[in-house]
Amino acid sequence: MYTMNAKEYDEKVMNGFFKKVYPVIASQIVERTQITEGKCVDLGGGPGMLGISLAKITNLQVTVYDLMQECVKLVAKNSLENGVSHKVNAMQGRAEEMSFEDNSIDLVASRGSVFFWEDQPKGLSEVYRIIKPGGWAYIGGGFGTAELLKEVNEQRSADPEWKEKRKHRMKKNPPEHFVAILKELEIEGVVEWSEEGTWIIFQKPKTDNS
């Protein structure tokens, strides 16, 4: 089971190296999906910076869903500090077994966590289960722009393992790997890849009543 030092991650990454990245990705998600209200899950959201960034620019009610109780506690602190505590809450749980009802969520967004799921097909199946007809999923990992990736690389140049760990994750999770999972699950979607990120994007088909 994946674990980390949540407080250190919050200080050095969520509010440090990657602080500029999350607002950019949030804007890209909203531009792509056009989802600005309803219910959103920031899946594997850690201390919640993607969900908080989404809450800042939309009317979404965001639930940050993470495996670690320490992260759930940090979401409350971060959402209060960012002025969106009335729109953001947090829950503990696994991507593979989410405690949301079928067809209940308008948007599931996730940056970085899919690479650490124990069962990626099961996790993506759960994402598909909980989104509403017409709802969207935007799952993957990235830095928003090539310029931000370059900036993060420069900031983390003192960490010799940084590039190697990222290279290993990308080698283990190439775009065709996620394309195969979507095909296996019979989910119509796309896997978009560039140097600054890999994203699995799909919309649940609308029904006659949606």
Question: Tens of pLDDT along the chain (210 residues)?
Answer: 445 566 666 666 566 777 899 999 999 999 999 999 999 999 999 999 999 999 999 999 999 999 988 888 999 999 999 999 999 999 999 999 999 999 999 999 999 999 999 999 999 999 999 999 999 999 999 999 889 888 887 777 666 676 666 677 778 889 999 999 999 999 999 999 988 889 999 999 988 765
Sequence-separated contacts (24+) of 194-197 with Cβ below 8 Å: 194/142, 194/146, 195/146, 195/149, 196/142, 196/143, 196/144, 196/145, 196/146, 196/148, 196/149, 197/140, 197/141, 197/142, 197/143, 197/144
Q: How far is CA 198 from CA 176, 189, 209, in A?
A: 11, 13, 33
Beta-strand ranges (E) seen in the chain are 37-43, 59-66, 88-92, 105-111, 131-142, 189-194, 197-203
pLDDT value of residue 1: 47
Residue type for position 182: L
- Helical pair 21-33 and 49-57, crossing angle rounded to 10 deg: 50
CB atoms closer than 10 angstroms to residue 75: 28
Copy the structure tokens of residue 85: 């505590």
Domains of the chain: 6-203 (3.40.50.150)
pLDDT value of residue 153: 75
**What's the longest Cα–Cα distance across the chain?**
55
pLDDT value of residue 14: 62
Coil vs helix vs strand at 107: strand
pLDDT value of residue 4: 56
Nearest to 127 by CA among 135, 56, 142, 79: 135
Per the CB < 8 A criterion, the answer to whether 60 and 26 are in contact is no
pLDDT value of residue 161: 72
